[in-house]
Each structure stands twice: as C-alpha cells, then as structure tokens.
Structure 1
C-alpha cells in the first residue's frame, strides 16, 4: 500500500469512525466501513461486562480480529513500580506461552517506549528497528507492529499492540481503530481501579467502626489487642496481624498475634533496643518494608517467614501505646500506596479506640472502688459501731447478773458479737482490694484461700484476725501458714456433715514455750472417725 493511499484512507477512516458516512470512493474507506459494526459491537460489549479481566481479554481478541492481526497483546502497567503486572494475548497457543515464559518487563524495547513516550507506533519490521529489545527466547517470530498506549487523561495504564498483519502492513485506519479500543481499555482499567479503591476504603471504614464498637463494649486488654490484630489482618489481606508494646528495657514485644497458619514463636518475640526499625516506630513514624526476610532493619528471628510488611505506630495524643504490624507471606504481593494509607488511618483510629476503651475501663473501676469505699464506710461507721456498743452493753449486763445460766448466755452473746465484728472488719478489708488484683499480704492471701474454698464447700468459712498480721508475720511464716491452711481446708472438706468452718489467725499469740509467735486455728463441725463431731487444727510458728 502506497503512502498516498494511506493518506487518503486516513481521512475516510476518521469519518467512518465518527459515523459520518461521507465517502470519496477510496478503496481504504470501503475496507474500513465493514469493520464498523464489529467495532461498535466490541465497544458495547465492553460496557456490559463488569469483570475487568474478561473485558481486557475481549478487547485484545476483538482488536486482533477486527484489524486482521495474527498476534495481539494488552499489557497492564503497575501504577507504582512501572512494570507490567498482567498480559492478555490473542493468537498465541498454550505451547507458545510456555515457550515464551516470563512477562516482558515493560521497561525496555518497544513496550517501554510506548510507556515513556505515549504515542502510537507503527512499524513494517520491528526486527529492523534498533529500539526493539527484551524479546524473550521462544517468542513467535514477528515483523509488522502496531502499538498504542492505554492512556487515561495524562496517565499511562498500559499498552495495546498487534503484530503480523495477515494482509500487508498496518495502516492509519488500523491505528485509529486500535486507539478507539485502547481508550475503552484504559477507561475500563481506570473505572475498575476507582471502584476497587472505593470498595477497599469502605471495608476499612466499616472495619475501623466495628473495632471501635467492640473495644468500647468492655473487652479486657488482651482481647482488645487481639481484636485490633485480627481485624487489621483480614482488612489488609495479610498473613499475620501483630500488636507490639514497649518494654521496660526500651524495646518492643509482640503481645498479640493473629495469623492464617501456625502462630508458633511469634508472641513474645522482642525487638531489641537500638534497632533501626524501633527508632522509627518510637518516633511515631510508620515503617514500610518490601521484604522482611532480607531487609537489614529487621532483626527478629520470625522475619524469615515474611515478605512485604507494614509497621504502623498506635499513638494517640502524642503517646505511643504500641505498634501494629501487618506482614504478608514471603514472596507475597507488595502493598500499594492506597493499602499503606488506609492501614495507617486504621491504626490511628484503633489507637484512639484503645485509649478510649482503657479510659472507660478506668472509669468503671473507679466507680466500683467508690461504691466499695461507700459500703466499707457504712459498715465501719454504722454497723461496727452499733455492734460494738451492743457488745459493751451485754458485757456490762453480764457482770451484774446473778444467775449463772444468764451469765453463760450473755457470754456466748458477747462472743458472737465479737466474731461478727471481726468478720465485718474482714469484709471491709476485702472491699478495699482491687477486683482483679491478686493479694500479696498475708491477710489478703488467707482471704483468697477461704474464698476459693467457699466455691467447693458451698459456704464461706468465717475468718478472724488478731493483731497486725501483715506487719508481724514475715514471708517464711506466711508461706507455712498458707500451706497449713490449705491442708486444713482440704481435710475439712473430706469430712462428712461439715456446715461451718472457722479460721483464726493470731499474730500476737503466746506459744507453749513462752515465746510470742503466730498461731493458726482451723475448726469445723464435721463428723470425726470416732463418731464425735468437731475437729480443731492448730499450727504455730515463733517470730
């Protein structure tokens, strides 16, 4: 085909594509017109298929058929790294694809030229062009070439090219038709990416809201951290979601981990002080890593399992409360810019939710303490004073009583009141203990043992303390006392008919040898082996 014929055909080709129907009787116009229905059908088909991969395959198949090329290809460009991420082909058999092997890199040769200089490119013999390079071994032999960029506004999204036209060389009309299809492909890719980003943003927003709601419903600290790790892992499509918290030594320790597979060895892993990654995290900066297994900044032993990773500071009000790490499997796909942005926003919201949940927990604990303090004050100011006054009245009455029987009766009443006063004081002490904290004092540990025994016995043993137990009883004596108390409570539980157990701890007891020490007395009303009722266990230790 002569250059003059090409020039004539270009004018008629443009008219045909615009649907104007004018004709100057040129043979190129006659050749182009029958292709219009196929082109229009292809464009309409693009609009009805919502699946991007099927759409792009349809475009390259249509381009090869419409223009009469033996081979066709459509490459999609990675918007961040510049290489081709996908390649859709027409005219190549499975055997051809296997021989070709890897994808073109998109940086070299004619494909790279279409990206760097986004203009249509038409060649009669690409093998004679010095810019042709990067053709992999086993690639089918090709000569004629027609390529156009997939361009949306000023952004190049890929390229569409045909080779080996069956009848002669590619023409201007072929180029115009291919540009129409390329513009439709660019529009499909752009719309798909916008839709995908919108859906991704929606999922992250919904996930952040769900995490906030879950944290504010009263989860404990460990469950709250696991909720953040699990939700972030799912949203980021990561292999693991990990939460780290600062250690006293200045490092960071993994305290919660949610993984797709076996999490063995992850929880408890520590980033040592001075690590380059740690310096960034403690400074409130996110860390994005292409390959955790090879990055020199990573120092933990579990890094060999992971590839691309995001490490995001959990901070609120300038205070760093931890780090959220989202590693993918080794060799996994890299995180995109939108992934990093959405994950960073999620981490900020999760950190705020953790702080609010912690504040809410503190307020609830404060309300419990205030209520317990009020109850303790009421017991001390009202109940104990009344009981003590009644005890004094009965004691005075007993001293003036003439009847021996009345004296004994009043004595028992005084003893009962005294025991009740001791138990009320014990209750006041118990109310003053934090609900979730384990006691460290001797008094607190005795109350814990008797409280635990109450679950098995079905009733709570009465406990009475004499003297400043926590001040006078040292650690060795306290361990011995608790061991004897556990044994006595277990023995009482094994006896039949036990309905009451009394525990007395006297820190100022006068021992048999005349020395002062601590005495433990445990009594119960159970049935003994000799048929009698009631058993007493006594343990003493000098101070």
Structure 2
C-alpha cells in the first residue's frame, strides 16, 4: 500500500486523512536535507527529519563501510546523553537487525523486534525498543548507510515506510552532494599541504628538517596520531629517522623494522601498505605498534628512486582510512618525494658552487699570493746577503724573511683547507691535523697556527699518524688548561725516512713547548 492508493476501505480512509498533514512535512524534510553542505550536519539533519516525519521516538543513521561491510559511524536522534552513555559502545553492524540491513539492504518493518529471531547484540543499557522500521540510503548505486527508526506509538505503517523511502531517496542525493563538497575541500587541503612542503623544502631546509616537514604536514592533513619517515638501513631493514606526534616522539625515532619482516618486502619494493589494526597485524613487528590502530605506509619515491616510507598511524579505536584518504595521501607522498629529490639536487648544486668558489680562491692564492710572497722573500734574502751578516739592516731583513716564510706556510695551509669538502671527514693526514686544530679552536677561543714541512701526506704512515694526532690532541688540551694562552703554533714535519715530528708552542709565560717524539 502507498500513500497515493485511492482504493481503501473505511479504515484506510481514516489513515489517509491522518497522513495528509504529513505531506507538507515530507516536502519540507526533502527540501531541508539538502540545505547543508557539511556531511555530518547533513546526516544529522536527515535522521532528525526522519524521526519527526514518522513520529518515532528514536532514530539512527548508520554509515556503512562498503569494503568492510560494517558500521563506521552512528548518528542518533531522540536519545539523551545519559541514554547514550548507558548504551555503551556503538554496534558494528555485524549482528542483529542492523547487520541484516547491511547484508541485505532492503526495507524492513517489524511490529516487535524483540520477537524476531534475527534480533541480537542489543547492549544491556540500551533503551527498550519494540516497533522497528529500517530503510537503506543509496548514493547512486552504492549503499551509503541505513536509517533505523524505533518506538512509534501504535507501530509503523506502510505509509511510514513509503514516506521514509522517499526521504531516503532524497537524502542519498543530498549526501552525494555533501560528499563531493567534503572531498573537494579535503583535496584542496592536501594540495595546499603539498605546496607548503614543496616551498619549505626548496627554500633551503636541511635534510633532517625536510623529512620532519613531510612527516608533520602529512600527520596534520590525515588526522593521524603520528607521522613518521622511515629510510632503508645498511643491514637491509628500515629505521624511523623523523617523527611528528602530538606528544613526545622520542621513543619513535630510531625504531627499526628488522630484515625479514613480512611488511618489509613491500616497503622496500616501493609498494603502499594499508593496515586495519597495527597492534594485531602479524606483519607489524616493532615495539611501538601496540599503541596504534589503522595505518598507511606510503612509498616516498621519485623517478624510480626510493627515498623512504611515510607512515601515518592512527590511535587504536580511531576511524579507519577511507579510499579517498588513501588516494590523497598517496598523491601527497609522491609530491613530497619529488620535492625531496629536487631539494637534494638543489643542495648538491649549492655545494658544488661552494666547492668551485673555494677551488678558485685556492688557485688564486697559490698562483698569485704565494708566488708574489715567495718572490719578495727571495728579493729580501738577496738584499740581506749584499748588506752583510753584521749589519743591523741584515738582522731586520732576516726577520722579515722568516716572517714571509711563515706567512707562505700559513697561506699554503689555508689553500689545502679550502680544497677539502667542508662537511666530509678528512682522509689525508694533513686534513686530520687541521681537523684537530679546528676543533680545539672552539675551546681555545682562537685558531692555532699550523705549519707543515715536507710531504707529510705521503711520508707518514697510518700508525705514526695516529700516535702523532694523539700527542697533538694532548698538547692542545694541556694548553687549554693553562691560563693566559693567546696563540699556539703547531709545526708538523716529515723526513724522507718516513719519520714524523711534532712541535707545539704557546705564548704563555714562560712559553711551553711540546715535542713528539720526545
């Protein structure tokens, strides 16, 4: 029977007279459900309208996950906060009449649900209910959810069912519009987030800050409990190198996925991994998994190069990720990976420009400054010889020659330092000596003067170099402990026999001289 059926007996005619005033209510409900573009507000408006339209005491709208075929969200009408608390956790839709509508999305009307053998799983604190009416809500051809109504005085009629089916049909259209709007807004947020990450990475962020930027932006956009970046280890596993959480992430950084883990093959292969419950998934092996529930693990790769993995775990009990969430997060990860590659290339170009500039300065110092200083030294030495050994001018010229010789040594040391990569550990003996004196300069407050004599890089073997560096380290530490030291001279020489000699002199009162070997 429908509300438009005119072939009714006297009892049905009475019902038609009673239902006639509800037609304007139906029209108003149909018009009002599409007035709000916010999805949650639209859903609440639908369940409130359905409850009012049919005269039911309680109403609910269960949102169904089409992949898992269970209720992910339940909006209610007519229940007080106290009744909600007594009812406890919401049903998942796997059992009872709610599960029947999910498995078989067809309208269902019952005079007494407690008498139906399919009714089960009602929480102990749930309000008592008897009459029941349920209809599916379809968005296009997909079942979005179900409307459930209970406790109408006198029970639900066929007219109630017809009214509710009309409302559900219009609700499907309104929900479709709201979902499109929500998806558009969500996509806009992810695009803005990806643009912010790209801008931040291309403005000169360090490698550590770049990974943290990616992790933090992804966490905020996805509504995750944490955003972490993992990178492959030399042992064949993966390690968390950056973590962003709402609390202290200290126990996350450094966590490793050991080689042999089931999930590792997919991650190292650049495949995304989607997990329903990290705490109970056998593929997860880390000690931090127990605190997390739904999770996405997305590859950070660009041009076939795997940079790492972006993991976005939510807390246990949080809503699972939807298909739209997965798609947008995967697109973000691809964009972030490209930005990381571009930022790394930009950093390499800047380093190359610095190296080229340092190499040019070193060549200029060698070709111009050192040659002129050496020529001046030769001229002064020739003048000193002509002046005679006993002349006062000869003594002054001798000191000038010594100063020039010392200056040439300093410039040559500077040239060598300029030719070393600033961020790399030195491999030559000369570079290691400069590293020791450079480190000591931080504590001393000044840079020790370093002089090399002979082919120290080729004549000093590794064992001798280690002992000499130890002696140098001790001499510099001892000088730091003495008060009033304002200058230190370090002299390193090597002879043709392979022996090395060290002399460290300070300007203390009296001056202290340390030699090695003693």
- Smaller-chain TM-score range? 0.7 to 0.9
**Residue in structure 1 matched with residue 342 of structure 2 by the alignment:** 356
Quote the Cα distance in structure 1 between the aligned partners of 2:112 and 2:516.
107
| Residue 415 of structure 1, CA deviation | 0.9
**Residue in structure 2 matched with residue 537 of structure 1 by the alignment:** 513
Verify: 1:183 aligned to 2:164, yes or no: no
| Residue 522 of structure 1, CA deviation | 1.1
Verify: 1:162 aligned to 2:149, yes or no: yes
Assess if the C-alpha contact under 8 Å between 1:104 and 1:134 holds in 2. no
Within the candidate set 44, 47, 55, 1:60 is matched to 47
1:76-115 aligned within 5 A = 76-91=63-78, 101-108=88-95, 110-115=97-102
**Residue in structure 2 matched with residue 520 of structure 1 by the alignment:** 503
| Residue 197 of structure 1, CA deviation | 1.9
Q: For the structure 1 residues 354 and 169, does the alpha-carbon distance in structure 2 shift closer, same or farther, using more than 3 Å as the test?
A: closer
Verify: 1:485 aligned to 2:468, yes or no: no
Assess if the C-alpha contact under 8 Å between 1:124 and 1:170 holds in 2. no
SS at match of 1:535: coil
Quote the Cα distance in structure 2 between the aligned partners of 1:377 and 1:187.
75
Assess if the C-alpha contact under 8 Å between 1:509 and 1:519 holds in 2. no
**Residue in structure 2 matched with residue 219 of structure 1 by the alignment:** 205
Quote the Cα distance in structure 2 between the aligned partners of 1:96 and 1:220.
54
Assess if the C-alpha contact under 8 Å between 2:295 and 2:311 holds in 1. yes
Aligned length: 508
Query: Which of 1 and 2 has greater Rg?
Result: 1
Q: For the structure 1 residues 378 and 38, does the alpha-carbon distance in structure 2 shift closer, same or farther, using more than 3 Å as the test?
A: same
Give the TM-score of the pair, scaled to structure 1.
0.84
Verify: 1:10 aligned to 2:1, yes or no: no
Structure 2 unaligned spans of 5+: none
| Residue 508 of structure 1, CA deviation | 4.0
**Residue in structure 1 matched with residue 377 of structure 2 by the alignment:** 391
**Residue in structure 2 matched with residue 322 of structure 1 by the alignment:** 308
Assess if the C-alpha contact under 8 Å between 2:139 and 2:175 holds in 1. no
**Residue in structure 1 matched with residue 288 of structure 2 by the alignment:** 302
Q: For the structure 1 residues 415 and 43, does the alpha-carbon distance in structure 2 shift closer, same or farther, using more than 3 Å as the test?
A: same
Task: Quote the RMSD (CA, aligned, Å).
Answer: 3.1
SS at match of 2:299: strand
Q: For the structure 1 residues 125 and 486, does the alpha-carbon distance in structure 2 shift closer, same or farther, using more than 3 Å as the test?
A: closer
| Residue 520 of structure 1, CA deviation | 0.8
Quote the Cα distance in structure 1 between the aligned partners of 2:317 and 2:156.
43
Within the candidate set 14, 25, 29, 1:42 is matched to 29
Assess if the C-alpha contact under 8 Å between 2:113 and 2:132 holds in 1. yes
Q: Deviation per CA, 1:283-310, whole angstroms, max 9, x where unpaired? A: 1111111122221111222222222222
Assess if the C-alpha contact under 8 Å between 2:136 and 2:168 holds in 1. yes
1:24-43 aligned within 5 A = 27-43=14-30
Within the candidate set 409, 412, 421, 2:396 is matched to 409
Give the TM-score of the pair, scaled to structure 2.
0.87
**Residue in structure 1 matched with residue 418 of structure 2 by the alignment:** 431
Quote the Cα distance in structure 1 between the aligned partners of 2:504 and 2:92.
85
Verify: 1:263 aligned to 2:264, yes or no: no
Q: For the structure 1 residues 47 and 378, does the alpha-carbon distance in structure 2 shift closer, same or farther, using more than 3 Å as the test?
A: same
| Residue 459 of structure 1, CA deviation | 5.3
**Residue in structure 2 matched with residue 18 of structure 1 by the alignment:** none
Verify: 1:422 aligned to 2:409, yes or no: yes
| Residue 441 of structure 1, CA deviation | 4.4
Assess if the C-alpha contact under 8 Å between 1:509 and 1:518 holds in 2. no
